[in-house]
A and B are shown apart, each in its own frame.
Chain A
Amino acid sequence: MLRIDNLTHVYPNGTRALDAVTLEVPRGMFGLLGPNGAGKSSLMRCIATLQIPTQGAIRFGDLDVLASPDVLRRTLGYLPQDFGVYPRVTALDMLDHLAVLKGFANGKERRETVDALLHQVNLWEVRKKALAGFSGGMRQRFGIAQALLGQPQLIIVDEPTAGLDPEERNRFLNLLAEIGENVVVILSTHIVEDVSDLCPSMAIIASGRIVKIGAPLQLIASMNGRVWRKTIAKDELGAHQRDHEVIATRLFGGRTVIHVLADANPGDGFEPMQGGLEDVYFSTLAGTRRQAA
């Protein structure tokens, strides 16, 4: 549905944010996972017609996005990573104004859409309050409401759950899950659970390159029998990092738990475990770092 071909973007200061990104995004929820600074937002901004890439092509269906951005904008919903709001404007007024900008000329139709969306994102009670006074979660829900205006075919949400509390995050993911399977939704995030909770397909981006594409379940299955766990003391970490391919270290109850990747049981007190998407993510990132070094 959405095809990205050999997309490269170099910022004026020489930063190569995207490096020959090629990606095919099907209908449904698509997760784009990557660490901070991997180029997620640059890619999102290019697809959202806000930035002209240095080279490459983006096609949505039959549409050449870079040649006719105006046409894409008619079916686009975009929630940027971080947006401020105008002071003194209420949620209702702002959403109504955005509805106008998205092409709702008919007043009655527009009001109905805006009201429905405000109900849907649970902001109906506070619709007459100023946006500037909203909490982070409320602001994000306003953000998704505006992205859903006008039944877009392509929805881009850029790190929508960063900074939300677990309850708000659930509420937000539920909203996303309701969007339906007939549109393309790109969810860019650095939070692995967002992707494993929602997305039937995904890609991992690191240092401006796509390093893994697939379905989360499939990717997890590919790690079957290769992830091993061990609880160690803090000062043993260095030695283990030298001897094994450590993909993740975390603290659990004050002790260090490490996950290593190995085709056979490394012995030495390691026990087998069922790897999750997080292990896929970390082992992929570890792989790219090794290649770079």
Chain B
Amino acid sequence: MFKSVAAFELRYQLKSPAFWVTFAIFLLLTFAATASDNVQIGSGGNVWKNSPYAIAQTLMVMTVFSVFILTAFVANVVVRDDETGFGPIIHSTRLSRFDYLFGRFTGAFLAGCLLFLSAPLGMIVGAAMPWLDPEVLGPFNLWHYVYVYLLLCVPTLFVTGAGFFAIATATRSMMWTYVGVIVFLVLYLVATGFLARPEFINTVALVDPFGLGAYDQATRYWTAAERNTQIPAFAGYILWNRALWVGVALALLGLAWAIYSRAATGSRMAAAKAPDQTDDDAPAVAARAAATPAVQAKPSGDAGWSQLWALTRFDMAAAVRSPAFIVLLGIGFVNSLASLWYADERYGNTIHPVTRIMIEALQGAFTIIPLIIAIYYAGELVWRDRDRRMHEIIDSTPAPDWAFVVPKILSISIVLFSTLAASVFAAIVVQLLKGYLDLEVGKYLAWYVAADDRERGAVRGARDLHADARVAQVLRLDADAAVRGRPDNLRSARLRAQSLPVRGQPRHTALRHERTG
């Protein structure tokens, strides 16, 4: 049974548009990195474009990107049944917990591995392009690709897959799983930043879950000629690192198995389904019905400011009340408080924590957070109605089309503005704690909040909401919603047309985010 569950899962994932879209994106990325000088993935350096060193660098960085898609696959495995409502049928069969969880995980993981084949494939094709200078290429050697793919990348896919599978099993929620991904990536970036010193090189070699540190440690003192022709032996820190993380992954899978329970699929769900037992007694209902005037007030029909404000508030609440927002904000704070606190240290000297310095620190440490919030909520707001199967009710209301676009842009802008304002508050608290009183609040507003908000919020929102939503869609890989989102009704088609970028190409936000990170 294990085999056929895994096979069904693999076939299912291969049918999803997300698989093929990401396959194409990965292929293009590594192709471009190899066949063009303008795109670079990993550190590159003075080596052949198809040298083992370049292959390892590029593909291992791609495994970092692949976390999102892999999470989409493995989390879908457990969340799908709850979301579609097909769960009860599956759970009332004799399928065992082991086969259900691990059969499906295996299928989804294999789909992830197949998908990741696109990355080496893109490099191989890229290196064969006729316009490349033969000086920057070495001889083709398939073994180098196989080595990097099988020994360096697949274990990483296994680790991230298992980890986020465990989170999805515990939370039964796509959103919390993605919060987990973001927490993980932020922690990873913070940790690599912190440990980027020579004395930690062996530690990093061992604990970097992506294996980048281990590879770096093994090839650190290699000459360009060595990097062009040799791959490090699968021994030492590389071996230990891979072994350690595969072990961790197995432990996480065990944890997922222990956490998962199939009967009473979450009290959360049961409670939501619990019937409402407010039995109105008949006479009271009749009395109330009699008291209601037969003709209700006609809606006046003109959408005014109060409606705009009400809709904006409604959309804002969706962002602010969600736990993800609070968690993201929390991470942003921890990250920026640390840099704010040490911002007044320069080359061993202590300087005044003037506002200019604080702004610099915030721009380095905090601005990624509003960006993530913007991406996530743009997608969430645009797709919410469809995801909850409310769109047919909403679309049939007589509300004008602006009511579907303007409040969303406004509410995202207000949320972003508040996040930035909150980070300014943190900076001011740090300044006060350090006994620095010349706060220059005006400067915060002019150079940080306004500048950033103009950049990320109001103006860009109008132009890029659609692009962001698309990117968010790709990042969340909510392929099911994408399919449901066929332009089969007029309103969504119109909404789409309206929110298309008004001038120029939408900037490729996904790439920019990765660079910022």
Contacts and interface: CB of A to CB of B under 8 A. Distances in A.
Given A50-B265, A51-B263, A100-B5, A11 B274 contact: yes
A12 B271 contact: yes
Interface in B77-99: 80, 83-86, 88-96
A140 to B, nearest CB: 13
Given A48-B92, A78-B88, A289 B12 contact: no
A83 B82 CA distance: 10
Contact of B1 (A12, A89, A101): A101
Nearest to A208: B277
Interface residues of A, number: 50
A15 B273 CA distance: 11
B135 interface: no
A83 B273 CA distance: 13
A98 interface: yes
Given A73-B94, A105-B1, A78 B264 contact: no
A51 B270 contact: yes
Interface in A55-77: 69-70, 73-74, 76
A290 to B, nearest CB: 10
Contacts of B94: 70, 73-74, 101-103
Contact of A83 (B88, B263, B271): B88
A93 B12 CA distance: 10
A151 to B, nearest CB: 13
A76 B92 contact: yes
A123 to B, nearest CB: 16
Interface string A176-218: 0000000000000000000000000000000100000000000
B480 interface: yes
Given A98-B93, A207-B277, A50 B1 contact: no
Interface in A5-37: 11-13, 15-17, 36-37
Interface string B87-126: 0111111111000000000000000000000000000000
A143 B92 CA distance: 13
Interface in B1-59: 1, 4-5, 8, 11-12, 15-16
Nearest to B273: A41
Contact of A13 (B265, B271, B480): B271
Contacts of A42: 274-275
Contact of B277 (A15, A48, A70): A15
B263 A85 contact: no
B279 interface: yes
Interface in A253-293: 289, 292-293
B391 to A, nearest CB: 15
Contacts of B483: 87-88
A42 B269 CA distance: 12
Given A37-B277, A51-B263, A87-B484, A78 B92 contact: yes
A252 interface: no
A207 B279 CA distance: 9
Contacts, number: 120
A82 interface: yes
Contacts of B264: 50-52
B8 A100 contact: yes
A83 B89 contact: yes
B505 interface: no
Contacts of B273: 41
B89 A17 contact: no
Nearest to B11: A93
A84 interface: yes
A12 B93 contact: no
Interface in A91-111: 93, 97-98, 100-103, 105
B481 to A, nearest CB: 9
A76 B90 CA distance: 11
B92 A84 contact: no
A49 B480 contact: no
Given A15-B275, A100-B4, A101-B5, A78 B270 contact: no
B281 interface: yes
A80 interface: yes
A12 B273 CA distance: 11
B277 A89 contact: no
Interface string A158-189: 00000000000000000000000000000000
B92 A289 contact: no
Given A83-B89, A98-B89, A100-B8, A39 B263 contact: no
Contacts of A103: 1, 93-94
Contact of A86 (B12, B88, B93, B267): B12
B282 interface: yes
A86 B15 CA distance: 11
9 contacts: A13-B274, A50-B88, A50-B92, A51-B263, A69-B263, A76-B92, A80-B88, A102-B94, A238-B286
